């Protein structure tokens, strides 16, 4: 069953999503070669709690940390650790916050130091795919219109679209109906109605779309060990144009100086 949100509920999801955005910006200012993902995780947890939120992922099905931190060939659900981040690598960071009983959820793939042009292009196209999906998230369209837009843009650029992990509804729960796949047919699936709050989150691989689940029960990597990128916004379906409830503005202000 889908729970369509009232404007009051959307306001609460927006507040949680903006705390997610500010948490990203907070860690973005520390993210560089030599720093460990576990150090960034501690900074994020403290920042979220200082601002009245609760880390949404910590303890979720037993996940041990605040952020999912997935470097290079890790697609999603990487566990922060003490290893130093290295120059010419990427780090996908997924952050969720619970505040006032409503969740926000957003992911961003960061460049660590100077990064090869072909990897920069993977990040660019993955982010573009997300926005092409969001453009389709309007009243009267269907879930498949979002899915197709994402898949089409990624595959036209020669990249692999992960099938096994999908976007989702959210609100009082971190994962609600409907599922929002990053691949699919135009005009298929659930019709989009006003007040539908969803996280759209393409996971795009430089090589094969195939993935591998590690025996830590969490980490997912690409089968060919080539890099993977992940960008995610929490949005609400509206008439004519979706409203993005999370934000990359705070992050990009930091990383673009």
Nearest to 123 by CA among 67, 76, 72: 72
Q: Min. distance of Cβ 26 from Mg ion in angstroms?
A: 17
Q: Which of residues 175-214 bind Mg ion (CB under 5 A)?
A: 199
Check residue 107 for interaction with Mg ion (CB under 5 A).
yes
Choices 41-49, 98-106, 137-145, 155-163; region in contact with Mg ion by CB under 5 A: 98-106
Q: Which of residues 128-167 bind Mg ion (CB under 5 A)?
A: none
**Eight-state DSSP code of residue 97:** E
Choices 107-115, 124-132, 179-187, 215-223; region in contact with Mg ion by CB under 5 A: 107-115
Report the relative pairing of strands 176-180 and 203-205 from DSSP bridges: unpaired
> To which residue do tokens 């995780």 refer?
41
CA distances in angstroms from 209 to 56, 116, 162, 224, listed in the order given: 28, 21, 5, 9
Binding pattern for the stretch 215-244 against Mg ion, x by CB under 5 A and - elsewhere: -----------------x------------
CB nearer to Mg ion: pick between 165 and 224:
165
**In this structure, are residues 219 and 165 in contact, taking their beta carbons and an 8 Å threshold?**
no
Choices 5-13, 99-107, 131-139, 243-251; region in contact with Mg ion by CB under 5 A: 99-107
Task: Report how far residue 219's alpha carbon sits from residue 159's, in angstroms, rounded to the nearest whole number.
Answer: 21
Residues lying near Mg ion in the complex (CB under 5 A) are found at 94, 105, 107, 199, 232
């Amino acid at each position: 069953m889908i729970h369509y949100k009232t404007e009051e509920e959307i306001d609460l999801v927006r507040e949680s999503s903006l705390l997610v955005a500010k948490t990203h910006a907070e860690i973005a200012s520390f993210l560089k070669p030599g720093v460990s993902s576990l150090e960034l995780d501690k900074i994020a947890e403290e920042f979220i709690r200082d601002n009245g939120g609760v880390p949404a992922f910590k303890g979720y099905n037993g996940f041990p940390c605040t952020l999912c931190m997935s470097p290079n060939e890790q697609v999603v659900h990487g566990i922060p650790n003490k290893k130093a981040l290295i120059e010419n690598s990427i780090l996908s960071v997924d952050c969720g916050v619970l505040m006032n009983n409503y969740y926000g959820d957003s992911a961003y793939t960061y460049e660590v130091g100077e990064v090869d042009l072909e990897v920069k292009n993977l990040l660019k196209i993955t982010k573009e795919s997300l926005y092409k999906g969001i453009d389709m998230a309007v009243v009267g369209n269907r879930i498949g219109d979002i899915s197709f837009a994402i898949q089409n843009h990624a595959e036209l650029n020669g990249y692999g679209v992960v099938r096994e992990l999908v976007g989702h509804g959210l609100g009082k729960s971190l994962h609600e109906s409907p599922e929002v796949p990053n691949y699919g047919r135009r005009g298929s699936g659930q019709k989009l109605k006003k007040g539908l709050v969803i996280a759209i989150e393409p996971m795009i691989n430089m090589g094969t779309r195939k993935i591998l689940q590690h025996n830590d029960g969490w980490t997912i990597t690409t089968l060919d060990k080539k890099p993977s990128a992940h960008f995610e916004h929490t949005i609400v379906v509206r008439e004519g144009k979706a409203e993005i409830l999370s934000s990359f503005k705070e992050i990009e202000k930091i990383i673009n100086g």
